[in-house]
Structure 1
């Protein structure tokens, strides 16, 4: 029976992320198809895909114009004033900004002594400290983001001497997988890619 549970868990590890992704994509397109079917007299296969891609592009284009940028900023402030919506919106926005805009932000994986000396946690080196922070230290310090397991939108920014950091030769993708899976998937070396 041990072999059965091993293969069953391996199957779940493969199927669950695929199923969640497919579920999200299919439901997005199904909702778009349903919405278009109610209000448009024409319909053809793939219409939802075209509309979703065009909408994403249009919103991106509109957000770069000063008048509409003001409207988007106002909407964002409005969402930020509703207690539960604020938490969800800010978390999703920070994560999507990190993933889509700052490709190198979570690239430099390191080990740091956190939460206390003698223990090591995986973290990511952040951009250089600003002058008001860096001038508070006699030696070079760096900011490291130590994410919480299962949730990349939460964690701790710690500032520590560069000498206390242990650089890791791992892929950023596998370091992120290590955090997201709470250590179930161990980081892979850059040389194994």
Structure 2
């Protein structure tokens, strides 16, 4: 009767388990996020009058109709805000919300972030950079956000300095805003999406398909 090597069996089971988790976890999380987004957007149908509800004329609520309605609302608001009259209404609405004490702080912060990230006029996150952080000799990925402005520009000339955002890993929504000299910045050929993937994966997923995790052989400690 053949002898079973328990160590090899345990090692194979461990490899299979990790391989299965690497395949299933991203798939499950993606499906869960999509299901949450679709189910949340489907609640947009609740704003319709009862006579217009899909249950009245279809006998059921097809999944995804709320997504179509939400997209139609966003497109309609965008089309309205793109003309002169709509632009004036948006300005009036913005001025009104600025006068409400608690709402003002929340709305202003969210609007500034969305304007920076989504506006075509902004230049945030348009280029991936390589900077030394948090000290000389240590390098990390950063993103160009602009140039020093306001009173800061008197002390740090925009022609000499850049405003950059240094994200944290693996959550790039947190990070540091710093202003560095142009000579201390190395522009990267990778896109912003590739750089974000590089940051989120903690350097494991390298743009170009190469593996970033390489063995590091530390020198042996000298005997005392």
> Which deviations, in whole Å up to 9, do the C-alpha atoms of 1:142-169 show, x marking residues without a partner?
2211123344443222112222122222
Contact 2:97 2:103 in 1 (8 A): no
Q: How does 1:101-180 map to 2 (within 5 A)?
A: 101-102=119-120, 105-130=124-149, 132-137=151-156, 140-179=160-199
Alignment CA distance shift 1:76-1:14 (3 Å): farther
Mark the runs of 5 or more structure 2 residues left unpaired by the alignment. 1-12, 210-224
TM-score w.r.t. the length of structure 2 is 0.63
Alignment: residue pair count: 184
Mark the runs of 5 or more structure 1 residues left unpaired by the alignment. none
The SS at the match of 1:122 is strand
Residue in 2 aligned with 1:24? 36
Residue in 2 aligned with 1:48? 66
Alignment CA distance shift 1:70-1:47 (3 Å): same
Alignment CA distance shift 1:169-1:160 (3 Å): same
Contact 2:41 2:67 in 1 (8 A): yes
Contact 1:114 1:121 in 2 (8 A): yes
Residue in 2 aligned with 1:70? 92
- Give the CA deviation at 1:96: 4.3
> Which deviations, in whole Å up to 9, do the C-alpha atoms of 1:56-106 show, x marking residues without a partner?
12333444331343224433664x7259x939x845x55544443258521
- Give the CA deviation at 1:114: 1.5
Contact 1:124 1:145 in 2 (8 A): yes
Could you say which structure has the larger radius of gyration? Answer: 2
The SS at the match of 1:144 is strand
Residue in 2 aligned with 1:2? 14
Alignment CA distance shift 1:94-1:21 (3 Å): farther
The SS at the match of 1:146 is strand
Alignment CA distance shift 1:147-1:125 (3 Å): same
Residue in 1 aligned with 2:26? 14
Contact 1:94 1:153 in 2 (8 A): no
Alignment CA distance shift 1:16-1:77 (3 Å): farther
TM-score w.r.t. the length of structure 1 is 0.71
Q: Matched residues in 2 for 1:13 and 1:174: separation?
A: 21
